[in-house]
Chain A
Amino acid sequence: DVKVTQSSRYLVKRTGEKVFLECVQDMDHENMFWYRQDPGLGLRLIYFSYDVKMKEKGDIPEGYSVSREKKERFSLILESASTNQTSMYLCASSLQGARNSPLHFGNGTRLTVT
């Protein structure tokens, strides 16, 4: 089974801090995604990557950046955390080109910015 691991389950950070959320997958998937989950809004795509060092903006990239230096790892960076970035963050991966291949999700990171 695919395993997607997010480094932290809960994080509490202060406004203005630089925050790193890490995600690792172990099934050699080309695609990796960062979503933000908020009540009533569902999952909104922040960034995704279809190859090492490649990235594409999703629907809400403002205030975030990403890094993919190795195939298995995809990091989400909050350059200067703000209270409106308090949310649940979900990482996911999938096979590229396998059009019916589902997303495989991590357990999520609940980030609180105070």
Chain B
Amino acid sequence: AQTVTQSQPEMSVQEAETVTLSCTYDTSENNYYLFWYKQPPSRQMILVIRQEAYKQQNATENRFSVNFQKAAKSFSLKISDSQLGDTAMYFCAFMGTSYDKVIFGPGTSLSVIP
């Protein structure tokens, strides 16, 4: 069974600084997708960024980028120029080949400090 681990329950960063959130996963599959979701205090979960395992190039979305290390099964999220609106829970997620089912990690609570 696939598992997703986030080893940092809480993190904080100064506004305008850069922060990296860690994620590792375990799977025997070769083709899969990885995601980072954000859940602000208002609660609605939204997608931040996605990565396809067969693509070696790391995904980027504006201030958000990932460091995908397939051999190490690592998928970290880097947030550059942190903004107050980045304060949220961040969940790493894995989707394999089973009915589009998505497995989530335990989450990292990020606080951006003014």
Contact = CB atoms under 8 A, between A and B. Distances in A.
Contacts of B95: 99
Nearest to B31: A99
Interface in A2-41: 31, 33, 35, 40-41
Contacts of B33: 99-100
Interface of A: 31, 33, 35, 40-45, 48, 50, 56, 58, 88, 90, 92, 94, 96-97, 99-103, 105-108
B16 interface: no
A42 B9 contact: no
Contacts, number: 57
Nearest to A31: B100
Interface in B63-107: 91, 95, 99-107
B45 A100 contact: no
A45 B35 CA distance: 16
A105 B45 contact: yes
A42 B101 contact: no
Contacts of B43: 88, 107-108
A92 B43 CA distance: 13
B47 interface: yes
A43 B37 CA distance: 11
Interface string B30-49: 00010101000011111100
26 contacts: A42-B4, A42-B6, A42-B91, A42-B106, A42-B107, A45-B103, A56-B99, A88-B43, A90-B45, A96-B100, A97-B100, A99-B33, A99-B52, A99-B95, A99-B100, A100-B33, A100-B52, A102-B35, A102-B47, A102-B50, A103-B37, A103-B45, A105-B45, A106-B44, A107-B42, A108-B43
A66 B103 CA distance: 19
A45 B101 contact: yes
Given A102-B47, A105-B45, A48 B101 contact: yes
Contacts of A31: 99-100
B100 A94 contact: yes
